[in-house]
Amino acid sequence: MFRKKSRKLSFDRTLFRPVIRKSICTGEESFGFLRLSDSAFLEISLIRSPSELESLLSSYSLSRDEVETIN
């Protein structure tokens, strides 16, 4: 009946880089941004499934190739 509106979010590409941080111990993945000035990780969301990752990427208008995986 009602559709959830997809909202487009943005970030400053001169200050942040989109990354997926993967835990060494558990393999848990989280999506966030790496601040270029001091390499601080700003977590946005925990990734529980591939569809959740695709939803996050589309909300920030990113492709999978633009996102780096870090440990």
Q: Please, which pLDDT band fits residue 31 given cuts at 50, 70 and 90?
A: very high
**Residue 7 within any structural domain of the chain:** no
Q: Which structure tokens are listed for 60?
A: 């920030």
In a domain, 23, yes or no: yes
Is there a domain that residue 1 lies in? no
Quick check: is 11 in a domain? no
Assigned domain for 9 exists? no
Q: Tell which residue, 43, 38, 37, has the closest CA to residue 19.
A: 43
- Is the residue at 45 inside a domain? yes
Confidence of residue 9 (pLDDT cuts 50, 70, 90): confident
Within a domain: 6: no
CB of 36 closer than 8 Å to CB of 27: no
Domain tally for the chain? 1
**Structural domain of 41:** 16-70
pLDDT, position 6: 61
pTM (2 d.p.): 0.81
